[in-house]
Structure 1
Amino acid sequence: MRRSGWFVGWILLSISISPTGWALDKSSDRQGIDARTLQKPPYNLTGKDIFIGQVELSRPSRFAVDKISNKLLQLDRIIVQPYEVFFRDGKAIPNRNVDDHSAQVAAVIISQHKIRRGIAPDARLLSSAYSQRRQDGQPEACIAAQHVARQYNSTVRAINFSFGELLSEDPRPKATLDGGALLTLCVDWVAATYNTLPVVAGNQGKGGIPIPTDLYNGFTVGFTREVNGIYRQLDRGNLIDEPYLDRNSNGKFDQGEVFSDLNKDQKWTAGVESPIDGRRSMAILAPGNNLQLPTLQGKFKNANGSSFATPHVVGAIALLHEYANRQIASGKWSIDARRHELIKAVLINSVDKIQDRGDGKILGMSKTILDAFGKTWIDTEAYPNQEIPLSRSLGAGQLNAYRAFQQYQAGQQSPINGSGNISAIGWDTNIVEVDKYQEYVFSDPLVADSFISATLTWDRQVKLNDKNGNGLFDIGEGFTDQGFNKIELYLMRSPDTDISQSIWSSVSQIDNLQHIFIKIPTTGKYKLRVVFKSPQTNNLNQRYGLAWWAKSI
């Protein structure tokens, strides 16, 4: 995550000519998120014709707009070429508001370099810079995000936010990460209004710039580093708990250990800049360490941080949407496949947690992902607790683009009149009414001692306080948080009828996301149940996205 030069900056850039400098190629290949498999035959997915967005303080340069880009083209060194660039909600100002950080973020997605190729090199990136003065902040960033989301008949499928705004400068009295900052409300409103998925870089370093990491209708991304050439361990640069000196190497803070008091409260704080009340917004990890990325001058420099993990996710989203376009064009899928709640569920449900032993009982996962202390998702607070869907340090796990494709490719399987049969892998986007449920019955028995993964997502409702009635956010306007309905997810034996008989559940009361990852106790018939409990917070019916993955006989 990044804030502009006159504020706290975190990113470390250094020129490297080391042979390990092919890390972008590594992070996108099987050592990372395995997007290269999808770029090759028979899939041939490159994000072709998919619109994605980028909002930052500055922007990448573009040919025909900026002199430096024109010069690079003449030298045959142009690597990053956005489809269109803006300044907030207008045309980009030539040779202004460009910087290396935004160019490197864009390169992760759309780099045309022959070896260091982007995740979705043929995607159409729309990039808007929003900051020109020191006082530019959340309102200006909201204007830029809204403008990007509205382009091309609102067909921008995801927006990358690799920056953060200062919590200390939020105008609310005693501001906290409660989802109530103007930019956080704006990002959630943009997601629901324009059906786009916001992807936000997680906070790191010494913190201080966490807005809008407390969003609801998208998710925050943390970053991993390499272990023996494979991206699979949480980098210690992720700001989760206040840093401390772990003298006895037990992986937890003990009284008397030295720590950095980032919030100046004279005590060690877990989740120092995480959302309040224990809610987790960091849902996915992606590679973000030792990446060789091009500057505006076309030179490659070493880059680290969540800023560069986040575009790995946005690039993967573009690949999925390209596949969806093919399926929709051939009449096999409906436009429901483009719902942002669904894509969020698909990405989260298909992450790597624990490497499969080859028998499919851990759903074919390719890597074991570790936290900073070497512990796995099974060791986290989320695994044994039905009220905690995500781990504070690992989210759901690390992005795997190929597994996300497998999850998505399985197709939509919907209940009819509240119940329907499903295969072991699949997804649905549907509506559930208050005090009712939708039931998904596995057609074949699930295998004992195998894992099942299921993810349910839905939106928080945010209202635009539209003073002039133009339907758009304008400087001086704000938003009202209308909350989210309480939806729960249950794993049950097929014959059972009451949720009190459930095998497992995800019943968080503080999240608009539920996630189950648990072993099947005995071979037999099972089902998933999506339940909307009263009283409703806003609407009487709720649209949701659901993805599941199990091993059947």
Structure 2
Amino acid sequence: MEMGRPVQYLWDKLGSWQPPYALVGVFHLNQISPRNRFFDSHAGMVAQAMVSQDKRFPGVAPEARLYATAMGPLAENLQPQQCLAGQFVSRQDGGNLRAVNLSYGESLERDTRGNPQLDGNALLTLCLDWLTQQQNLLFVVAGNQGTGGIAIPTDNYNGITVAYTVQSPDRQGRYDRMAFTNLSREPEGMGKRIVAREINQGGRRGVSLVAPGSDFYLYDINGRVEWVSGSSFAAPLVTGTVALLQEFGDLQLLTNPNGSRWNLDARRPMVMKAVLLNSAVKIRNAGLGTDYNLYSSKNRDWLATEAYRDPTLPLDLEMGAGQLNARRALEQFQSGAYGPGENYLPAIAWDYGEIQPGQTISYALSQPLKGGEFASVTLVWERPVQLLDSNGNQQYDLGESFQDKPLSNLDLLMVSQDDNGSVVCASQSKVDNVEHFLCPITTTGNYTIQVKHQGGGAMARPEKYALSWWTVTN
């Protein structure tokens, strides 16, 4: 979803240049796009980052099927029309889409609510969270704003909001520094009031994940190579990685149709979110297989962040859960699903389960964890959103609205089996639907991951969740 759309070869007449990608469909809002209208270079470059088949500048997932829809003039098409477009594109390919990329957004100044804030209640934000549940797909949202920038829908709950990194000062090709232009920097200086307004309300962190997003070479609409930067080009790296993981998962479902490790849960957006966040790179660590540190715009690494020290803050303000790493994400995902009642739980795995109010579910890891190493664990669940469906057709129509429901409060713990269940690490946010920690394992021993349902909201209910863990055994 973009303000414009990529050029479609043979559909649009634009000189002799042939774009280095093949699109399955191009749309304008909720209909097929007319020829020679609504395309622009930005949308084409975002498409290239995902599916380019160019040998010089290949995309992340060149075999993925890509549909593109243009919003057109934003002066005419506000959040209701954009929600229609999101609903339309998410139903393409027989409802088999797995992820939608948004490298654009809406400013708070254009929101029609009185005194609009990033509280998760803008119509477009509610719409994306609702579509996640209805269509079983993951929305990936670009997260840089600037002064009065594209704040909505970066306050979504069920998707992944992406900030971007720049290359290390030594110019050795490592993307290990947060860009100064990202959202969710600490409010300070002359722009403090504006920056504070563009940070999520209630203490929620706005960034889920970061990815490289600077010094990219991509083709413009006329086939010229341009040098570009921004989270607009970091988000499609995440979306493309979802496509790669889903390609792998579909292969497992095809070749192991009765395998206990692979079922349709592998397609769930919360599983993708848990896998991507948990496999993200934070620090250089041989046990975890990571070879660099990620630094904030103020040159702080993860171990110096509030998120590392404070159990109520699962994500960092700038770095989220860390930087995308497709190789590690595949290693995390390919282990398959392991449930809490199984005889063997490996060091690296994931699960999709359900928990009742007041219940504690324990995952007793089968092998001792190695002292002096770290354990990365991530828990995610969905914010429920209800469509106020005035005509009862079970789809969003102009004039309708949404209502969010109370968010369940789940906690994530790492406890020692050797020390009477003492809590070693915890993530206990009361305002978000993500729990995450990088836990230092000081003593070699046996450990258990626990998921606790603490209630939450006016009415506690059973909750589906995705859990992902990466540990280092002895």
Q: Which interval holds the TM-score relative to the shorter structure?
A: over 0.9
- Rounded Cα–Cα distance in structure 1 between residues aligned with 2:61 and 2:174: 21
For 2:252 and 2:110, the matched residues in 1 are separated by 46
Instruction: State the shift of 1:87 in Å.
Output: 1.1
Runs of 4+ residues over 4 Å off in structure 1? 495-498, 535-539
1:346 maps onto 2:290 in alignment: no
Q: What displacement does 1:262 show?
A: 5.0
Do residues 455 (structure 1) and 378 (structure 2) align?
A: yes
Are 1:201 and 1:220, in contact at CA under 8 Å, matched by a contact in 2? Answer: yes
Q: Give the residue type in structure 1 aligned to 2:123.
A: L
Deviations 1:456-496 (A, max 9, x none): 00000000011111111111111001132111111011266
Distance 2:64 2:226 in 1: 23
CA distance in 2, matches of 1:234, 1:118: 22
Q: Following superposition of structure 1 onto structure 2, how do residues 226-237 of structure 1 map, counting pairs within 5 Å?
A: 226-227=167-168, 228=171, 229-237=173-181
What SS does the corresponding residue of 1:223 show, helix, strand or coil?
strand
Residue pairs, 1:153-172, within 5 angstroms:
153-172=94-113
Q: Which residue of 2 aligns with 1:46?
A: none
How many angstroms apart in 1 are the aligned matches of 2:314 and 2:279? 15
Q: Percent of aligned positions with the same letter in both sequences?
A: 38
2:52–2:62 CA contact under 8 A, matched in 1: yes
Distance 1:535-1:392 versus aligned 2 partners, 3 A rule: closer
- 1:411 matched to 2:336: yes
Matched, 1:113 2:54: yes
* SS of corresponding position for 1:106: helix
Counterpart of 1:337 (choices 266, 279, 287) is 266
Question: Contact 2:3 / 2:74 at 8 angstroms: preserved in 1?
Answer: no
Instruction: Report 1:180-219 matches (<5 A).
Output: 180-219=121-160
Question: What is residue 308 of structure 2 aligned with on the other side?
Answer: 383
Consecutive unaligned residues in structure 1, runs of 5 or more = 1-54, 244-252, 264-268
The answer as to 2:470 corresponding to 1:524 is no
Q: Please report how far the alpha carbon of residue 497 of structure 1 lies from its aligned counterpart in structure 2 after TM superposition.
A: 6.8
SS for the counterpart of 1:382 is helix
Residue in 2 aligned with 1:132?
73
Query: How high is the TM-score relative to the length of structure 2?
Result: 0.95
1:510 is the counterpart of 2:431: yes
Counterpart CA distance in 1 for 2:215 and 2:144 is: 18
Per-residue deviation, 1:66: 1.0
- Measure the CA separation in 2 of the matches of 1:329 and 1:341: 22
SS at match of 2:415: strand
Q: CA deviation at 1:242?
A: 6.4
What is the CA-CA distance between 1:206 and the residue it aligns to? 1.7
- Aligned partners of 1:207 and 1:239 also within 8 Å: no
Q: Which residue of 1 aligns with 2:30?
A: 89
**Distance in 2, Cα, partners of 1:115 & 1:303:** 16
- Which structure 2 residues correspond to residues 534-549 of structure 1 after superposition, within 5 A? 534=455, 537=458, 540-549=461-470
**Contact kept in structure 2, 1:111 and 1:121, CA below 8 Å:** yes
| 2:418–2:445 Cα contact (<8 Å) kept | no
1:443 aligns with 2:366: yes
2:412 to 480, 489, 497: 489
1:220-269 CA distance string (max 9 Å, x none): 100100112211100111132367xxxxxxxxx5xxxx533553xxxxx6
CA distance in 2, matches of 1:448, 1:242: 34
Alpha-carbon contact 2:410-2:455 (below 8 Å) kept = no
Tell me which of 428, 441, 452 is aligned to 2:351: 428
Offset from partner CA, 1:33-57 (integer Å, 9 cap, x none): xxxxxxxxxxxxxxxxxxxxxx111
In structure 2, the residue corresponding to 1:193 is in which secondary structure? Answer: helix
CA separation of 1:545/1:537 partners in 2, compared to 1, >3 Å: closer, same or farther?
farther
Partner AA of 1:231 in structure 2: Y
CA 1:420 to 1:431, structure 2 compared with 1: closer, same or farther past 3 Å?
Answer: farther
RMSD: 1.7
CA–CA distance in structure 2, aligned partners of residues 121 and 546 of structure 1: 29
Tell me which moved more, 134-143 or 94-103.
Answer: 134-143
1:60 corresponds to 2:6: yes
State the TM-score, normalizing by the size of structure 1.
Answer: 0.82
Residues 64/468 of structure 1: CA separation in 2 closer, same or farther (3 Å cut)? farther
Mean alpha-carbon deviation: is it higher for 482-491 or for 314-323? Answer: 482-491
Aligned to 2:249: 324
C-alpha separation between the residues in 1 aligned to 2:153 and 2:460?
25
Residues 179 and 185 of structure 1 are in contact (CA less than 8 Å); yes or no, is this contact kept in structure 2? yes
For residue 237 of structure 2, give the secondary structure of its aligned residue in structure 1.
helix
Contact conserved, 1:232 with 1:369, CA < 8 A, in 2?
yes
Q: Does 1:238 pair with 2:185?
A: no
Matched, 1:260 2:199: no
